[in-house]
Protein backbone atom coordinates (compact mmCIF):
# COMPACT_ATOMS: atom_id res chain seq x y z
CA UNK A 1 0.00 0.00 0.00
CA UNK A 2 1.19 3.50 -0.90
CA UNK A 3 2.16 5.23 2.37
CA UNK A 4 4.22 8.33 1.54
CA UNK A 5 4.95 10.46 -1.49
CA UNK A 6 7.04 13.59 -2.00
CA UNK A 7 5.92 16.08 -4.63
CA UNK A 8 8.44 18.44 -6.25
CA UNK A 9 6.92 21.80 -7.13
CA UNK A 10 7.83 25.37 -7.86
CA UNK A 11 6.96 27.96 -5.19
CA UNK A 12 4.65 30.19 -7.22
CA UNK A 13 1.02 30.38 -6.03
CA UNK A 14 -0.22 28.60 -9.16
CA UNK A 15 2.41 25.84 -8.95
CA UNK A 16 1.56 25.26 -5.29
CA UNK A 17 -2.16 25.15 -6.11
CA UNK A 18 -1.43 22.49 -8.74
CA UNK A 19 0.74 20.42 -6.39
CA UNK A 20 -1.86 20.60 -3.62
CA UNK A 21 -4.58 19.60 -6.08
CA UNK A 22 -2.58 16.52 -7.09
CA UNK A 23 -2.07 15.75 -3.38
CA UNK A 24 -5.82 15.94 -2.79
CA UNK A 25 -6.48 13.50 -5.65
CA UNK A 26 -3.90 11.06 -4.32
CA UNK A 27 -5.37 11.24 -0.81
CA UNK A 28 -8.88 10.65 -2.14
CA UNK A 29 -7.76 7.42 -3.81
CA UNK A 30 -5.22 6.25 -1.20
CA UNK A 31 -6.55 6.70 2.33
CA UNK A 32 -3.90 7.27 4.99
CA UNK A 33 -1.21 8.37 2.51
CA UNK A 34 1.26 10.98 3.75
CA UNK A 35 2.13 13.78 1.32
CA UNK A 36 5.12 16.13 1.60
CA UNK A 37 6.23 18.90 -0.72
CA UNK A 38 9.71 19.75 -1.94
CA UNK A 39 9.39 23.41 -2.90
CA UNK A 40 11.99 24.53 -5.41
CA UNK A 41 12.94 27.91 -6.88
CA UNK A 42 13.86 27.14 -10.49
CA UNK A 43 16.09 29.12 -12.83
CA UNK A 44 12.93 30.21 -14.66
CA UNK A 45 11.65 31.76 -11.43
CA UNK A 46 14.92 33.59 -10.80
CA UNK A 47 15.31 35.16 -14.25
CA UNK A 48 12.30 37.46 -14.62
CA UNK A 49 13.80 40.46 -16.44
CA UNK A 50 14.13 38.76 -19.85
CA UNK A 51 11.79 36.78 -22.13
CA UNK A 52 12.08 33.02 -21.70
CA UNK A 53 12.93 32.55 -25.37
CA UNK A 54 16.09 34.61 -24.80
CA UNK A 55 17.37 32.72 -21.75
CA UNK A 56 16.75 29.04 -22.40
CA UNK A 57 13.03 28.53 -22.70
CA UNK A 58 10.43 26.86 -20.51
CA UNK A 59 12.86 24.08 -19.67
CA UNK A 60 14.20 26.49 -17.06
CA UNK A 61 11.07 25.71 -15.02
CA UNK A 62 11.76 21.97 -15.14
CA UNK A 63 15.50 21.45 -14.64
CA UNK A 64 15.70 21.58 -10.83
CA UNK A 65 12.43 19.65 -10.41
CA UNK A 66 13.72 16.91 -12.70
CA UNK A 67 17.01 16.82 -10.78
CA UNK A 68 14.96 16.16 -7.62
CA UNK A 69 13.31 13.19 -9.35
CA UNK A 70 16.58 11.78 -10.66
CA UNK A 71 18.24 12.06 -7.25
CA UNK A 72 15.14 10.52 -5.60
CA UNK A 73 14.59 13.59 -3.41
CA UNK A 74 11.05 13.58 -4.80
CA UNK A 75 8.75 10.89 -6.18
CA UNK A 76 6.81 13.02 -8.64
CA UNK A 77 6.93 16.54 -10.06
CA UNK A 78 3.85 18.53 -10.98
CA UNK A 79 3.95 20.80 -14.03
CA UNK A 80 1.78 22.85 -16.33
CA UNK A 81 1.84 20.79 -19.53
CA UNK A 82 2.49 23.91 -21.58
CA UNK A 83 5.86 24.24 -19.82
CA UNK A 84 7.05 20.76 -20.80
CA UNK A 85 9.39 20.69 -23.83
CA UNK A 86 8.90 18.32 -26.75
CA UNK A 87 11.61 15.93 -25.50
CA UNK A 88 11.92 14.72 -21.90
CA UNK A 89 14.96 13.35 -20.05
CA UNK A 90 15.46 9.72 -21.09
CA UNK A 91 14.83 8.41 -17.55
CA UNK A 92 11.62 10.38 -17.01
CA UNK A 93 8.04 10.17 -18.23
CA UNK A 94 4.69 11.93 -17.89
CA UNK A 95 2.61 9.25 -16.17
CA UNK A 96 -0.63 11.20 -15.85
CA UNK A 97 -2.32 14.22 -17.36
CA UNK A 98 -5.26 15.55 -15.35
CA UNK A 99 -8.60 16.75 -16.70
CA UNK A 100 -7.98 19.95 -18.60
CA UNK A 101 -9.18 23.33 -17.35
CA UNK A 102 -10.15 26.06 -19.83
CA UNK A 103 -7.36 26.13 -22.46
CA UNK A 104 -8.08 29.59 -23.82
CA UNK A 105 -6.03 32.76 -23.63
CA UNK A 106 -7.80 35.74 -22.08
CA UNK A 107 -7.57 39.51 -22.34
CA UNK A 108 -7.13 41.43 -19.09
CA UNK A 109 -7.34 45.22 -19.04
CA UNK A 110 -8.21 48.13 -16.78
CA UNK A 111 -8.94 50.33 -19.81
CA UNK A 112 -10.76 48.16 -22.36
CA UNK A 113 -13.53 45.60 -22.36
CA UNK A 114 -12.46 43.76 -25.48
CA UNK A 115 -9.28 42.97 -27.36
CA UNK A 116 -11.01 44.44 -30.42
CA UNK A 117 -10.52 47.89 -28.86
CA UNK A 118 -6.73 47.66 -29.25
CA UNK A 119 -5.32 50.41 -31.48
CA UNK A 120 -1.85 51.06 -32.95
CA UNK A 121 0.38 52.53 -30.25
CA UNK A 122 -1.33 50.70 -27.38
CA UNK A 123 0.96 48.97 -24.90
CA UNK A 124 0.15 45.27 -24.46
CA UNK A 125 2.01 43.01 -22.05
CA UNK A 126 3.32 39.55 -22.99
CA UNK A 127 6.56 37.60 -22.98
CA UNK A 128 5.25 34.63 -24.96
CA UNK A 129 6.64 34.58 -28.49
CA UNK A 130 3.41 32.86 -29.61
CA UNK A 131 1.23 35.58 -28.10
CA UNK A 132 3.49 38.34 -29.40
CA UNK A 133 3.21 36.98 -32.96
CA UNK A 134 -0.58 36.68 -32.62
CA UNK A 135 -0.80 40.24 -31.27
CA UNK A 136 1.33 41.69 -34.06
CA UNK A 137 -0.76 39.84 -36.63
CA UNK A 138 -3.95 41.14 -35.00
CA UNK A 139 -2.92 44.80 -34.84
CA UNK A 140 0.22 46.28 -36.38
CA UNK A 141 2.33 48.89 -34.61
CA UNK A 142 1.28 48.05 -31.08
CA UNK A 143 3.90 48.23 -28.34
CA UNK A 144 4.77 44.93 -26.69
CA UNK A 145 5.74 45.32 -23.05
CA UNK A 146 7.83 42.68 -21.23
CA UNK A 147 5.67 40.62 -18.87
CA UNK A 148 7.33 37.94 -16.70
CA UNK A 149 6.64 36.67 -13.21
CA UNK A 150 3.79 34.82 -11.54
CA UNK A 151 0.15 35.74 -12.19
CA UNK A 152 -0.12 38.22 -9.30
CA UNK A 153 3.09 39.92 -10.44
CA UNK A 154 1.76 40.22 -13.98
CA UNK A 155 -1.49 41.74 -12.77
CA UNK A 156 0.51 44.25 -10.72
CA UNK A 157 2.65 45.14 -13.75
CA UNK A 158 -0.51 45.83 -15.77
CA UNK A 159 -1.13 48.81 -13.51
CA UNK A 160 2.42 49.75 -12.52
CA UNK A 161 3.64 49.94 -16.12
CA UNK A 162 0.43 51.62 -17.32
CA UNK A 163 -0.23 48.89 -19.87
CA UNK A 164 -3.41 48.96 -21.93
CA UNK A 165 -3.88 45.23 -21.55
CA UNK A 166 -2.18 41.87 -21.06
CA UNK A 167 -2.77 38.34 -22.34
CA UNK A 168 -2.88 35.49 -19.81
CA UNK A 169 -4.09 31.90 -19.64
CA UNK A 170 -7.66 31.41 -18.43
CA UNK A 171 -6.73 28.29 -16.46
CA UNK A 172 -4.32 30.02 -14.08
CA UNK A 173 -6.73 32.84 -13.28
CA UNK A 174 -9.58 30.40 -12.66
CA UNK A 175 -7.49 28.18 -10.40
CA UNK A 176 -6.40 31.14 -8.28
CA UNK A 177 -9.96 32.50 -8.13
CA UNK A 178 -9.02 35.57 -10.17
CA UNK A 179 -11.60 34.98 -12.88
CA UNK A 180 -13.13 38.42 -12.20
CA UNK A 181 -10.01 39.97 -13.78
CA UNK A 182 -10.90 38.52 -17.19
CA UNK A 183 -12.38 41.01 -19.64
CA UNK A 184 -12.63 38.63 -22.58
CA UNK A 185 -12.08 34.97 -23.39
CA UNK A 186 -10.26 34.68 -26.71
CA UNK A 187 -11.61 32.34 -29.38
CA UNK A 188 -9.29 29.32 -29.52
CA UNK A 189 -9.81 29.01 -33.29
CA UNK A 190 -8.21 32.45 -33.75
CA UNK A 191 -6.04 32.90 -30.64
CA UNK A 192 -4.69 29.36 -30.70
CA UNK A 193 -3.40 28.37 -27.24
CA UNK A 194 0.00 27.05 -26.28
CA UNK A 195 0.41 23.31 -26.66
CA UNK A 196 -0.81 21.68 -23.45
CA UNK A 197 -2.29 24.88 -22.04
CA UNK A 198 -4.76 24.35 -19.21
CA UNK A 199 -3.59 20.83 -18.32
CA UNK A 200 -1.52 19.57 -15.38
CA UNK A 201 1.04 16.81 -15.92
CA UNK A 202 2.70 14.52 -13.40
CA UNK A 203 6.31 13.57 -14.16
CA UNK A 204 8.26 10.74 -12.58
CA UNK A 205 11.05 8.22 -13.17
CA UNK A 206 10.10 5.51 -15.65
CA UNK A 207 11.08 2.78 -13.18
CA UNK A 208 9.23 4.27 -10.20
CA UNK A 209 7.49 1.76 -7.95
CA UNK A 210 4.47 4.07 -7.60
CA UNK A 211 3.87 4.48 -11.32
CA UNK A 212 0.56 2.57 -11.25
CA UNK A 213 -0.81 4.86 -8.52
CA UNK A 214 -0.02 7.95 -10.59
CA UNK A 215 -1.37 6.48 -13.83
CA UNK A 216 -4.66 6.01 -11.98
CA UNK A 217 -5.05 9.82 -11.99
CA UNK A 218 -4.80 10.10 -15.78
CA UNK A 219 -7.78 11.64 -17.61
CA UNK A 220 -8.05 9.69 -20.84
CA UNK A 221 -9.68 12.31 -23.10
CA UNK A 222 -7.37 15.09 -21.94
CA UNK A 223 -4.34 12.84 -22.36
CA UNK A 224 -5.33 12.02 -25.95
CA UNK A 225 -5.74 15.70 -26.82
CA UNK A 226 -2.54 16.86 -25.14
CA UNK A 227 -0.43 14.09 -26.66
CA UNK A 228 -1.90 14.89 -30.07
CA UNK A 229 -0.87 18.53 -29.63
CA UNK A 230 2.57 17.44 -28.45
CA UNK A 231 3.05 15.46 -31.66
CA UNK A 232 3.09 18.82 -33.43
CA UNK A 233 5.63 20.14 -30.94
CA UNK A 234 7.81 17.07 -31.52
CA UNK A 235 7.52 17.47 -35.29
CA UNK A 236 9.14 20.90 -34.98
CA UNK A 237 11.39 19.86 -32.07
CA UNK A 238 9.84 22.97 -30.59
CA UNK A 239 11.35 25.09 -27.86
CA UNK A 240 10.22 28.30 -26.17
CA UNK A 241 11.70 30.13 -29.15
CA UNK A 242 9.24 28.47 -31.55
CA UNK A 243 6.07 30.54 -32.15
CA UNK A 244 3.79 27.53 -32.15
CA UNK A 245 0.34 26.76 -30.80
CA UNK A 246 -2.16 23.91 -31.02
CA UNK A 247 -5.46 22.89 -29.53
CA UNK A 248 -7.17 19.53 -29.97
CA UNK A 249 -10.62 18.48 -28.83
CA UNK A 250 -12.78 15.41 -29.27
CA UNK A 251 -16.14 15.33 -31.01
CA UNK A 252 -17.69 11.88 -30.59
CA UNK A 253 -15.24 9.53 -32.36
CA UNK A 254 -13.50 12.37 -34.19
CA UNK A 255 -10.73 14.71 -33.19
CA UNK A 256 -10.33 18.28 -34.41
CA UNK A 257 -6.98 20.04 -34.19
CA UNK A 258 -6.24 23.75 -34.59
CA UNK A 259 -2.66 24.88 -35.09
CA UNK A 260 -0.63 28.03 -35.67
CA UNK A 261 2.98 28.79 -36.46
CA UNK A 262 4.72 32.08 -37.13
CA UNK A 263 7.98 33.24 -38.62
CA UNK A 264 9.20 36.29 -36.65
CA UNK A 265 11.68 37.19 -39.40
CA UNK A 266 9.20 37.29 -42.28
CA UNK A 267 6.25 38.34 -40.04
CA UNK A 268 4.17 35.57 -41.61
CA UNK A 269 1.68 33.76 -39.39
CA UNK A 270 -0.26 30.71 -40.50
CA UNK A 271 -3.30 29.00 -38.95
CA UNK A 272 -4.60 25.61 -40.01
CA UNK A 273 -7.10 23.07 -38.76
CA UNK A 274 -7.76 19.42 -39.49
CA UNK A 275 -10.40 16.91 -38.48
CA UNK A 276 -10.70 13.16 -38.72
CA UNK A 277 -11.25 9.92 -36.89
CA UNK A 278 -9.73 9.69 -33.44
CA UNK A 279 -7.84 6.51 -34.35
CA UNK A 280 -5.87 8.58 -36.89
CA UNK A 281 -4.90 11.35 -34.44
CA UNK A 282 -1.15 10.85 -34.89
CA UNK A 283 -1.37 11.00 -38.68
CA UNK A 284 -3.66 14.05 -38.51
CA UNK A 285 -1.28 15.95 -36.21
CA UNK A 286 1.64 15.28 -38.59
CA UNK A 287 -0.38 16.44 -41.60
CA UNK A 288 -1.30 19.63 -39.76
CA UNK A 289 2.33 20.21 -38.75
CA UNK A 290 3.45 19.76 -42.36
CA UNK A 291 1.01 22.47 -43.44
CA UNK A 292 2.31 24.84 -40.79
CA UNK A 293 5.94 24.09 -41.61
CA UNK A 294 5.68 25.75 -45.02
CA UNK A 295 6.30 29.19 -43.48
CA UNK A 296 9.30 28.23 -41.34
Active site residues: 83
DSSP letters along 98-149, please?
A: PPP----EEEE-SS-SSGGG--TT-EEE---HHHHHHHHHHSTTPEEE---S
Angstrom distance (rounded) from CA 272 to CA 283: 15
| Contact (Cβ atoms closer than 8 angstroms) between residue 38 and residue 66 | no
Neighbours of 156 (CB within 10 A): 12
Angstrom distance (rounded) from CA 20 to CA 23: 5
Taking alpha carbons only, the member of 225, 226, 227, 259 closest to residue 243 is 259
Taking alpha carbons only, the member of 157, 257, 151, 247 closest to residue 198 is 247
**Do the strands 105-108 and 184-185 form a parallel or antiparallel pair, or are they unpaired?**
antiparallel
Neighbours of 270 (CB within 10 A): 16
Residue 253, classed as helix, strand or coil, is: coil
Enumerate residues 6+ apart whose C-beta is below 8 A from 280.
none
Taking the alpha carbons at both ends of the chain, their separation in whole angstroms is 51
Amino acid sequence: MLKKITIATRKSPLALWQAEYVASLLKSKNHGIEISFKKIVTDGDKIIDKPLYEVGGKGLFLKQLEEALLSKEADIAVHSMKDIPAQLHSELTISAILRREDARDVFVSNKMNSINEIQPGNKIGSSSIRRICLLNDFCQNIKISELRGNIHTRLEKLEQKNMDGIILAAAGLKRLKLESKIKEYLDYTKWIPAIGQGAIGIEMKKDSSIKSYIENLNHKETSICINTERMISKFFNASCETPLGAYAHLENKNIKIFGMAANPQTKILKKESIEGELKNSKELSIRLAEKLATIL
